[in-house]
Structure 1
Amino acid sequence: MTPTPTSSLFALSNRTILVTGGVRGLGLSIAVSLLESGADVVVFDLISPDHPDSVSDWTAAQATAAAHHAKLSWISLDVTDADAVASAVDAAFSSARPTHPVKGLFNSAGIQFLKPATEIAPSMWRKVVDINLTGSFLMSAAFARSFTGQGGSVVLVASMSGRVANKGLDCAAYNASKAGVVQLARNLAMEWGDKIRVNTLSPGYIRTALTDALLQQEPEYEKTWLDGSLLGRLSTVDEFRGPAIFLLSDASSFMTGADLVVDGGHTAV
């Protein structure tokens, strides 16, 4: 093998990366980092970039794309709709610049809700599993069908909650779905061998607008969360940029079927 210069290991130039759930939050933070690393990015989300809560961040992301001579686009998509997923992914592959073929997928679309297991309506259970787990499967399978080269990388966002029960939080549906995402990735990695690497990224608690709103309603949660963190704080969305770039780039070329846990040490003890 010809060694890749260390300075180029994390570069994502001359490729396109697909990102689900990328109009805001973690997905948008990763999309911006991909643009900064030289990739074109296609974002899939039901939320429009024109949404009042998203428009300013999306405008900033477009400015980042322009500054790095990259391309940022958005496709409206329900990740639980198999036909729509197949069409959207095919369109993304077809519209990619010849100099930037699609080589990666970062799947961060997901939902969470808190409810005791005895009170979860079957419809709500199915919705969580459909978006978090089935959506991950449909996007990954569509990517694999369209990808014809070598060296592809799929990153599915799981969670530390796929490994442990969250003390004080009633979220059985979410945790079960994320455990399923981890196992799904292992199986896809086995099936696709050296053609497409498949790994999961498992974040810990992330401070976002949604978690801030929850903590305002249930302030005792913050103490519980912080007690479980070896770093003594929650993460920010920016702290997952490095791990995501690592998994999508050649820096992780010998890594597949693995779960990268980035949780501030929550699951270490």
Structure 2
Amino acid sequence: MTVSEKQFTTIIKPEQDEATVPFPAPKLTGTAAERFLMTDKVTVITGAAGSIGGALAEAFALAGSHVAIMDFKHNPTIDKTLHEKYGVKVKSYTVDVTNYGLVKETVRQIEEDFGTIDTFIANAGVVWTTGLILNDASTLDEWRRVFDVNVHGVFNCAKSVGEVFKRKGKGSLIMTASMSGHIVNVPNYQTGYNASKAAVVHMGKSLAVEFAGFARVNTVSPGYTDTGLSDFVPTEQRAKWWGLTHWAERPSPRSWSARTCTWRATWPASPQARISRLMAATVPSKLVMEWFESYAGTDKAR
């Protein structure tokens, strides 16, 4: 089946690049500030007991969204803290994202508890801990561990919430990838992690096409972020990594590093993102810090 030329609406026309989509361009209403609010929306975040996930949970609560937290570890204080600070509903669910049946059931339970799901952030992830693949410690089990969480876990979430979005006719799926999905990091060796995040990046592009009729799909790729997951790496080695970032010039608390990731997730979840397309954010004269990819769905996908 083909779509007639009249059914396409041009979103943007930079020089030598014309992007069209087979549906009307969305109409935005309200002030610029209002278009970034998530008042009374429901956001699900995996890995929200961790550094980036915790920062995301607070950012969405600040924007007015109710928050459902899915994590392998239970944080007994985050629900109460966010509710008391922002007045939104917050509830945690203990779940292993590598277990599809458990993820699907948890998504069902969240929809029942909150009444709906507007945004889902597949953020849970693990790091590669064994260095060079020729090291004795770099076993197939380590490779599978990383892919089970970083790739299969994201797939499980996308499939489960995708069914919800399709039934509703709208929704926003955001997947946390990494700059390591686009480049090879030096001087650290993490082939398994890099490959897993590259898979997430392309999964996002592919799902954006599959879900285009009813939901938006985006990937966010943070740069070096002090989450604590890499604390096993010798301090001298980590210092080299940080020397490639702007954090080396402006030492800040660990939590600040995670918070820099938040707008890159809250932005594509907001109504403002309905007219977005591929973008990139870099830091001049430094290692590329992060990419942000956005694909606009239908006007309902918000």
Is the shorter-chain TM-score for this pair beyond 0.5, marking a shared fold?
yes
Q: CA deviation at 1:49?
A: 1.3
Counterpart in the other structure of 2:296 = none
Q: CA deviation at 1:68?
A: 2.9
8 Å contact 2:177–2:201 — kept in the other structure? yes
TM-score, reference length from structure 1: 0.86
Counterpart in the other structure of 1:220 = 237
Change (3 A) 1:9 1:94: same
Q: Where do 1:101-250 residues align within 5 Å?
A: 101-114=116-129, 115-119=131-135, 120-147=138-165, 148-211=167-230, 213-214=231-232, 217-226=234-243, 228-229=244-245, 232-233=248-249, 236-250=257-271
Change (3 A) 1:72 1:263: farther
Q: CA deviation at 1:238?
A: 1.0
Q: CA RMSD in A?
A: 2.2
**Corresponding letter in the other structure for 2:152:** T
Change (3 A) 1:113 1:259: farther
Q: CA deviation at 1:222?
A: 1.4
Change (3 A) 1:2 1:210: closer
8 Å contact 1:157–1:201 — kept in the other structure? yes
Secondary structure of 2:67's match? strand
Residue by residue over 1:38-90, the C-alpha shift from the partner in whole angstroms, topping out at 9 and shown as x without a partner, is 1111111110114xxxx4xx2xx523323433111011111011111111111
Structure number, greater radius of gyration: 2
- Aligned mates of 2:38, 2:191 — CA distance in 1: 37
The reply to whether residue 252 of structure 1 matches residue 270 of structure 2 is no
- Aligned mates of 1:107, 1:207 — CA distance in 2: 19
Counterpart in the other structure of 1:5 = 31
Q: CA deviation at 1:262?
A: 6.6
TM-score, reference length from structure 2: 0.77
Comparing both structures, which one devotes a greater share of its residues to helix?
1
Change (3 A) 1:224 1:90: closer
Secondary structure of 2:44's match? strand
Q: CA deviation at 1:260?
A: 5.5
Identity of aligned residues (%): 23
Counting matched residue pairs gives 253
Change (3 A) 1:267 1:13: same
- Aligned mates of 1:150, 1:204 — CA distance in 2: 33
Q: Where do 1:68-107 residues align within 5 Å?
A: 68-97=86-115, 101-107=116-122
Secondary structure of 1:91's match? helix
Counterpart in the other structure of 1:22 = 48
Provide structure 1 residue ranges, at least 5 long, that are not aligned to the other structure: none
- Aligned mates of 1:162, 1:261 — CA distance in 2: 15
Q: Which deviates further from its counterpart, 6-15 or 177-186? A: 6-15
Q: CA deviation at 1:206?
A: 0.8
Q: CA deviation at 1:25?
A: 0.9
Secondary structure of 1:236's match? helix
